[in-house]
Amino acid sequence: MKKFQLTRQNYLKAIEFLTNKYGNPEELIRQLLRKMDKISLHSSSIHEQRRLLEDIEAIIGQLVQKGENVDNQSMYQKVLSKFPVGIQRKVIHKKITSPDEPFTMQQLLKYFEVVITSEEQ
């Protein structure tokens, strides 16, 4: 939107631009998946891990909203691989010690939330 000066003449151009950019659900899904591929930690600090988790939750939420299936081994592995090995192990340990809970992406994100919160304290 920074491309357009705020004038009446540019209103329709801005609408057309936004429709082209965001009106194609398949393209939006591709953009979100690319964003998921590129997202990473800038440092191993717990603050940075919290930021990463929040970014991943936002991407996953949008993918689900667009009807994309995020409950698969490939996506679980992709999310796990974004975090340091120590955090991965703690999350996997939570999964193993909670066999009665169905494992979904939401559950995986919940485990990350619990582990990162405990690391913050």
| pLDDT, block means (10 residues), the chain with 121 residues | 64 73 80 95 95 97 94 97 97 92 94 96 87
User: Which residue has 């990162």 as its token pair?
Assistant: 116
Residue 82's nearest CA partner among 120, 51, 121 is 51
Query: In this structure, how many other beta carbons lie within 10 angstroms of the beta carbon of residue 50?
Result: 16
Radius of gyration of the chain (CA): 18
Which has the closest alpha carbon to 32: 49, 12, 56?
56
Closest residue by Cα to residue 60 from 95, 19, 108? 108
Tell me, what's the pLDDT at 68? 94
